[in-house]
Amino acid sequence: MDVVSAIKSRQSIRAFVDKPVSNDIIRKILDAARYAPSGVNTQPWHVAVLRGEVLNTLGDKILDARAAAVADSPDYQYYPSEWFEPYKSRRQACGLALYSALHIEKKETDKRLVQWNKNYRFFGASVGLIIYMDRRVETGSWMDLGMFIQNILVAAREFDLGTCPQAALAEHPDIVRQVLKLDDHYAIACGIAIGYPDMTDPVNQYRTDRLDIDEFTKWYE
């Protein structure tokens, strides 16, 4: 698959078939991702590859914390405290597209919760990645980390795999660090579900819109 096709065909996959992904393929994806650029070649990224018992244990502990109403305590703030335009409307359109595909109405809060909680099971993917880095670095390294993550998402398309980057896995970083036995100086950035997509599932059959080039680009000569 050529690079442009891989980029354009990438989408957030939230349902997977029951088919394992080999360690060899994961290594090939990470081998490609490690060529991401980083300031002065710091390469600040770290990856934990989860399967089986560890993946299930992490999901169990996060879901238990949520059921006990333990407050989120992420290592960084992803979204603004108060939404404003045009981002507010885009966020609402994204949520509407997801729940409309699943025929879940706004008032059906129980069904919405069931769908949301699938995040912590990596949506049934056979492999879950946890992306983390040293919290002592600064903002530039978070940019580097984003490029590394994008490389993972795009490289996975070469192997007909689907992915879903998940900030939800960073909501309870202390639990992640506990399960994975990570030192406290590591910040949890996100999770990534990775596996073979189930394209018959309605949750994978919608796509979010993208702005036209001229809506976000100014040309200077």
Tokens 């200077």 label which residue? 220
For the segment 105-114, the average pLDDT, to the nearest whole number, is 93
Q: What would you report as the CA-atom Rg of the chain, rounded to the nearest whole angstrom?
A: 18
For residue 195, CA distances in Å to 111, 126, 137, 215 come to 24, 6, 31, 34
Does the pLDDT at position 199 exceed 90?
A: yes
The ranges assigned to domains in the chain are 3-79+121-204
For residue 1, the model assigns a pLDDT of 86
For residue 143, the model assigns a pLDDT of 97
pLDDT single digits (tens) 119-175: 999 999 999 999 999 999 999 999 999 999 999 999 999 999 999 999 999 999 999
pLDDT single digits (tens) 26-54: 999 999 999 999 999 999 999 999 999 99
CATH code for residues 3-79+121-204? 3.40.109.10
pLDDT single digits (tens) 6-24: 999 999 999 999 999 999 9
Q: Among positive and negative, which fits the CA dihedral 209, 156, 50, 182?
A: negative
Give strand pairing partners of 164: 193
pLDDT single digits (tens) 88-104: 999 999 999 999 999 99
For residue 209, the model assigns a pLDDT of 94
| Contact in structure between 196 and 19 (CB atoms under 8 Å) | yes
Strand order in the sheet with 186-195: 46-50, 127-134, 186-195, 162-166
Predicted TM-score (pTM) of the model is: 0.96
